[in-house]
Structure 1
Amino acid sequence: MKNYWKKIAASLGGLLLAGSALFAAPDSYPYKAVTTVGMITDVVKNIAGDKAQVEGIIGEGIDPHLYKPTRKDVVAMSRADIVFYSGLMLEGKMADVLIRVARKGKPVYAVTEEILESEDYVMTDEADHYDPHVWMDVDGWIMATHVIAESLEEYDPENADFYAANAEAYIEKLEELDAYATEVIGSIPENQRYLVTAHDAFNYMGRAYGIEVKGIQGISTESEAGVRDIENLVDFLVDNQIPAVFVETSVSDKNVRALVEGAKARGHDLQIGGSLFSDAMGPEGSYEGTYIGMIDHNATTISRALGGEAPQGGMNGKLSNSR
């Protein structure tokens, strides 16, 4: 199965690179950059600055695994000067549109291109499907940031130094965020360092920051959790006296609440520790609506709910929705 998805990714990548090789540099500013998920939108805004007008397609609380592009989205991508998408099959239902745009000679970039080339970094599930949630590991998203910066430099070489300087400044902030997540998640007592959520969006975070992750659904929210899956997780939570589980802003909370009820029936007071951002960021214009705010919120909320030590306002004292 993994080889099948590799062939799909290689075919798509070949077409996109072929299209990108034909593009011309911008002849006016700001040029129009279109992005898929909010995590990419935020990075592009930070690096492109006033050189680009950045439009994100998939907004707050929307699940990219299930998202089907609208006519408006197709028009936006067709009229864009440059397009960024995640890759690793996150936007599987948008593949046809991305290929169509690339065939018109527009620059279209997968921000996980460098990550995919690092065979030992990319995670997969039991069926060997790629796990696309690399933004949950800040170090992984730094690799994506490098790709975005290099892509903008390639597209607009006249302003290459501008993009490089912006990327350097932004990556310094990401390194601070990475250190903060390491510290606060590391403060959770070892016997409570288990992150249970609606779906497997947090495996890169688990590997990076030393917390075991258990999702009710698989990597994609297209999968369905069975009754036995719920029962097995309830057994685990009760046996290990885990204090909290978490819902996600872009995924139904039905299964997580079933865990709480199941644990209650077994005499264990299991709490919902808060709502985490998984496949989408917070409201536009809010701190949590930035990539840094998203990860700050997640790390702070997880730590505080599982018995760790983290300031209520998070790394920068800006959080509004932390537990």
Structure 2
Amino acid sequence: MMMCKQAQAIMQIPTGGMDLSAVSRRRPHKEKAVVVIGATGTGKSRLSIDIATRFPAEIINSDKIQVYEGLDIVTNKISEDECRGVPHHLLGIVDPESDFNAGNFVSTALLAMKSIVGRRKLPVIAGGSNSFIEALVDDENYQFRSRYDVRILWVDVAMHVLEQFVSDRVDRMVAAGMVEEVRNIYNPNADYSKGIRRAIGVPEFDPYFRAEYSSSTDHKTRAMLLETAINETKMNTCKLGRRQIEKIHRLIQVKGWEIHRLDATEVFQKKGREADEAWEELVARPASLIVDDFLFGNYRYRDFAVSSEIDDRGIREAEIRAAMATASY
């Protein structure tokens, strides 16, 4: 599985027929940024790319495991085709044996954001590591809040529906070569508390690989250990999803963050074209309307003398209000 190429300062991306310079000429003293959060498997990467293909934007990865180089299947890195030409930052750039903590993320992400806004693009920060997001938005030095206004979008899926999807996704990962990928980095003396080996789907296979190296372990036992490793990967991924949701609720209830919730449950209950249509209706379009209002808001309606009934790109104010109301906090 190929991951997206890292963004370079000179890279150009599709603007979708829109120019943020209109905002920059009239913007207040703060720049703007969008954050996409949610549990594992809910479609954060998909939504961030949808946004970046409708607005001139670049994406900053905030997944604490996807920052590492390697294990593209295990870490579910987005493929080059899925990137759709949108530049990505902090994706697969860190040595897999090193540690990359929240402090490293904050300093690196802030540099990436400065570079992105310098090119008149919108930074879209997307990933499931809420500890990284929290460290960035509420950093001790107040660097983020003093420089950026932020709109936070939460892609949510009912847990019982998400757990079935996660289980099926692990099966697809196994079929795509996940076991061989982990085998290639296996080290019986490895520390599973550091670097990329912390990824779910790596330590779970340790007993299986140890059995492979043992001549005294029969085929039936190895098959049982493989099945156990796969099941533990599924269970631990589901546990991760529940923890991620709990953290999002804490950010809302304890820290008072304003977060727009987009319910994608129905999307995951459909397949094929119906699922794509549900995604557009329930997630992509409402999110785009929210971002449009965030970026242009009163500037768009006042400065461009757009009709109160419909603007120059065919987005009705009523739709924006409806999207804002639908995306609960």
Greater RCO, CA 8 A, separation 6+? 2
TM-score between the two structures when normalised by the length of structure 2: 0.29
The TM-score with structure 1 as length reference comes to: 0.30
